[in-house]
Structure 1
Amino acid sequence: MKKTSIIKPYTKKNGEKCYMFKLYVGVDPLTGKEQYTTRRGFKTKKEADLTLARIKLEISKGSFRKQQAETYQDVYDLWIIQYEKRVEESTFVKTTGIFRNHILPALGNYKIDKMNVDVCQRHVDEWATKLKNFRMVKSYAAKVLDFAIKRGYLQANPFALIEMPKNLKNTHLYDANALENFYTKEQLNTFLKYMGQETNFKAYTLFQLLAYSGMRKGEAFALTWNDVDFLKNEIRINKALSKGKNNRIYEKVTKTRFPRTIKMDQKTMDTLKNWKKQQQQDYLILGFNTLQPKQLVFSNDQNKFIQPTKTRKWLEHVLNKYKLPKITTHGFRHTHCSLLLEAGVGLKEVQDRLGHKDIKTTMNIYAHVSQQAKDGAINKLANYMNM
């Protein structure tokens, strides 16, 4: 049988016919990935054959050295090894997902020395039409080229010279309700009333806790009963759950790395007490003793960490059944902040309670309050002017 040649003809944009080949050259000892070298631009098949034969001979003698970082993908493979050493496992997983889904399909095959402003501008413009978070995608894409500069593969980062477009994703079609991912006081009370009518008391306890504490979902799922002080009505928040490689759920420090203790209302603490009693009964049937000090407040049927996505199923069931306004699990953190501001609590107190490292985060993310508060502001002005 005739052996298929790896030398392939192709046509340049100017119509000129050339030849190229892609040859396997071994495994990269740093990344463990298969390495290939691609050569193109040969005017005749004979020229390509001669170069291919020479490279094969070098490989057989062990003298072949693949030119480092030929493509954006090559640089990424080197950069990601260093990046993984500097960040949390969950951050690493999110970052590799962004590269896998958006950046590498667009830029991976570009020769690193051919990366220019026009190339980068074109892809950023394209991301802006598809992605709400295109600025973050651009920022990550630029990090790889910053790394390329440090390694001497590039002189300057073309991403630094592009013009940032506006976010074109769904600018003409938007849902005003989606802009406010939180509940008013009345909406929250309605939600908790219907959630309380369901048989899932664990879910009811969780959502009441999220709404009245403002803690992150991952922080709530990492709570153990020894973090809950029923005498002082306090909860200590010093850890959080996160998702790592291969969907592994693991415990880590809080997002800001600073533990905090928050005061709680009596109603929510009573709900937690009742859940602790029911948990003891429910899990005893499953064969677990929940009276251990480090027992999780919320656990799955194997008495292990709950998958963070579980709350979406609980939430959507109630929202759809009772036709309630849409909200995400994180929206209950927004709700807590909004209601604190409506109640007249100062920004510094809100910052401390929510665990924001920088008060700018509190101001930027939660600048919007509920419509009731906005209406109240203009009514106060009208009343003042009519005095």
Structure 2
Amino acid sequence: MVKFSKYESRGQTKWQYYGHAGVDPKTGDKIKLRKKGFSSKAEAKLHYERALDRVRSQGTEKRIKYADLYALFLDFYRDTGVTESTVIKYRLDSEGHILPYLGKYYVDSLTVPDLQKWVAQVRAKRKDFRKIVGHARAVLNFGVQEGYLSENPLAKVIISPSKERYQERRISASQNVYTPEQLVTFLDFCRDHLEFQKYVYFRLLAFTGLRRGEALALLKSDINQDDRSIVVNKTLAEGPDNATVVAHHTKTGNADHGETKVYLDQHTFELVMELYGKAIVKGSWHQVVDVSLSEYLFASPRNMSHFHRAAPNEWLAKLWRKYEAELAKLGLHRISPHGFRHSQATLLYELGIDPKDAQHRLRHKNLKTTMDIYTHISKDRKASIADELDAFSARGTTLGTKVIQFPTQKERESLL
């Protein structure tokens, strides 16, 4: 629909038009066509028709906006079997850093310069911007799969290396583990310097391979005294507004029953039962708090419920801030709560546990995951053997108390 009208300008009669020509190919908003300064209505009408033809020549194919494609992808993502906490993290990242920028655009109208500009904006705000870019890339790849795009324009965006070196936020995987000897040393230190509740928590992680959220979600009713086992069928997950919620599933729960039994060694079981019977723990201000009525094994003195899922990280951070020098003298380095799971895998390897049995205890969905860990540990051991041989070769062979030095090249030549 278009409207033509007359108006006066410097004593002369002029014509103008105002109308709409469909929707904008990027935003879906109405395209407004307006122009004035024509000498006659016929001239204004001709100009409008040409402008309308230019807009219509762009095509009217079926299209979808990024926000709508994202909603479709989120349903698809859930169906792949990821946990709800993973979906929540994906949603929070997307709604905070992608949808405000790209959500209103039709995906087939997004250009490489558009996306290059968006990446620069995210990069300025997030150190882990590559993760955010990966989220958007997955949605656009889904758009290609569903026929809304012929190719993913984000694949052509150049992400240059950062000139600024950020401090690692996470401990590297190769460092996030204790040897069996270090594990025992650390737990002995925790026994003497941490509250009993926290000591038992880290002991349980180290000797069962439980994930941090699985251990925090344990109820007293999950403990089976008949066979020294615990039932693992839930975990703590990240909910809206950074809240911690109980998810009644685990990352790799039993496909038939949604739960797994994990058996405890005698000493760990005795510690768990001792904690079970304890009614008193220290609060944040060192006050005495009775948590005997809580259903949780690791009950928070603040609310008698479970701790926040970040609590174990805070416990470790506080321990290292206070005792860093002492821990370093003991030959220890800092690991994360998940590092105790890695340490359990290392312990199983050192004990010669069959990979299939280790898979069951660690509750890996695939044996390949367990084998990858065992292979990595094996490579480290082989490398350490080579290091020992290097040191041996450098100092010579020791026979009893006599050191035999290998002759140098010059000494060998003199004997010829």
Q: Which residue does the alignment assign to 1:209?
A: 204
Q: Which residue does the alignment assign to 1:360?
A: 368
Aligned partner of residue 190 in structure 1, secondary structure: helix
Aligned partner of residue 365 in structure 2, secondary structure: coil
Q: Answer yes or no: is 1:305 the counterpart of 2:283.
A: no
Aligned partner of residue 322 in structure 1, secondary structure: helix
**TM-score normalized by the length of structure 1:** 0.66
Give the aligned residue type for 2:339: G
Q: Which residue does the alignment assign to 1:326?
A: 334
Q: Which residue does the alignment assign to 1:351?
A: 359
Give the whole-Å Cα distance in 1 for the aligned partners of 2:75 and 2:199.
42
Give the whole-Å Cα distance in 2 for the aligned partners of 1:73 and 1:105.
9
1:287, distance to aligned residue in structure 2 (A) = 7.0
Give the aligned residue type for 2:293: N
CA separation of 1:331 and 1:89: change in aligned 2, threshold 3 A: same
Q: Which residues of 2 match residues 48-63 of structure 1 at below 5 A?
A: none
Aligned partner of residue 29 in structure 2, secondary structure: strand
Q: Which residue does the alignment assign to 2:234?
A: 239
CA separation of 1:370 and 1:79: change in aligned 2, threshold 3 A: closer
CA separation of 1:197 and 1:90: change in aligned 2, threshold 3 A: same
Could you tell me whether the CA contact under 8 Å between 1:131 and 1:169 is conserved in 2? no
Give the whole-Å Cα distance in 2 for the aligned partners of 1:172 and 1:275.
41
Give the whole-Å Cα distance in 2 for the aligned partners of 1:101 and 1:319.
33
Aligned partner of residue 172 in structure 2, secondary structure: helix
Larger CA deviation: 211-220 vs 222-231? 222-231
Q: Which residue does the alignment assign to 1:145?
A: 140
**TM-score normalized by the length of structure 2:** 0.62
1:112, distance to aligned residue in structure 2 (A) = 1.9
Aligned partner of residue 337 in structure 1, secondary structure: helix
Q: 1:201-234 CA deviation, whole Å, 9 max, x = no partner? A: 1110000100111111111122223332334332
Q: Which residue does the alignment assign to 1:224?
A: 219
Could you tell me whether the CA contact under 8 Å between 1:121 and 1:162 is conserved in 2? no
Q: 1:110-140 CA deviation, whole Å, 9 max, x = no partner? A: 4422235676688779989976683x54553
Give the aligned residue type for 2:272: L
1:310, distance to aligned residue in structure 2 (A) = 1.1
Q: 1:136-184 CA deviation, whole Å, 9 max, x = no partner? A: 54553244335545776x2424169659979869889879973421122
Q: Which residue does the alignment assign to 1:286?
A: 290
Give the whole-Å Cα distance in 1 for the aligned partners of 2:371 and 2:160.
23
1:307, distance to aligned residue in structure 2 (A) = 1.0
Give the aligned residue type for 2:246: Y
Give the whole-Å Cα distance in 1 for the aligned partners of 2:35 and 2:367.
65
1:248, distance to aligned residue in structure 2 (A) = 4.5
Q: 1:186-208 CA deviation, whole Å, 9 max, x = no partner? A: 33223222211235111100001
Q: Which residue does the alignment assign to 1:38?
A: 29
Give the aligned residue type for 1:184: T
Aligned partner of residue 369 in structure 1, secondary structure: helix
Q: Which residue does the alignment assign to 2:269?
A: 269
Q: Which residue does the alignment assign to 1:341?
A: 349
Q: Which runs of 5+ in 1 are unaligned?
A: 1-20, 22-35, 48-66
Aligned residue among 69, 82, 91 for 1:75: 69
Larger CA deviation: 105-114 vs 362-371? 362-371
Give the whole-Å Cα distance in 2 for the aligned partners of 1:340 and 1:198.
27
Aligned residue among 167, 188, 191 for 1:193: 188
CA separation of 1:377 and 1:107: change in aligned 2, threshold 3 A: farther
Aligned partner of residue 348 in structure 1, secondary structure: helix
1:274, distance to aligned residue in structure 2 (A) = 1.8
Aligned partner of residue 278 in structure 2, secondary structure: helix
Give the whole-Å Cα distance in 2 for the aligned partners of 1:169 and 1:261.
49
Aligned partner of residue 99 in structure 1, secondary structure: helix
Instruction: Specify the structure having the higher radius of gyration (Cα).
Output: 2
Q: Which residues of 2 match residues 102-117 of structure 1 at below 5 A?
A: 102-104=97-99, 107-108=102-103, 110-116=105-111
1:298, distance to aligned residue in structure 2 (A) = 1.1
Give the whole-Å Cα distance in 1 for the aligned partners of 2:90 and 2:252.
19
1:264, distance to aligned residue in structure 2 (A) = 2.0
CA separation of 1:68 and 1:297: change in aligned 2, threshold 3 A: farther
Could you tell me whether the CA contact under 8 Å between 1:242 and 1:250 is conserved in 2? yes
Q: Which residue does the alignment assign to 2:56?
A: none
Could you tell me whether the CA contact under 8 Å between 2:217 and 2:246 is conserved in 1? no
CA separation of 1:185 and 1:232: change in aligned 2, threshold 3 A: same
Aligned residue among 241, 248, 252 for 1:252: 248
Q: CA RMSD in A?
A: 4.5
Give the whole-Å Cα distance in 1 for the aligned partners of 2:127 and 2:104.
21
Could you tell me whether the CA contact under 8 Å between 1:120 and 1:158 is conserved in 2? no
Q: Which runs of 5+ in 2 are unaligned?
A: 1-19, 21-26, 39-60, 328-332, 398-416
Q: 1:62-88 CA deviation, whole Å, 9 max, x = no partner? A: xxxxx9966423533565477668864
Give the whole-Å Cα distance in 2 for the aligned partners of 1:163 and 1:181.
34
Aligned partner of residue 368 in structure 1, secondary structure: helix
Give the whole-Å Cα distance in 2 for the aligned partners of 1:252 and 1:275.
24
Give the whole-Å Cα distance in 1 for the aligned partners of 2:198 and 2:36.
68
* Number of residue pairs aligned between Structure 1 and Structure 2: 327
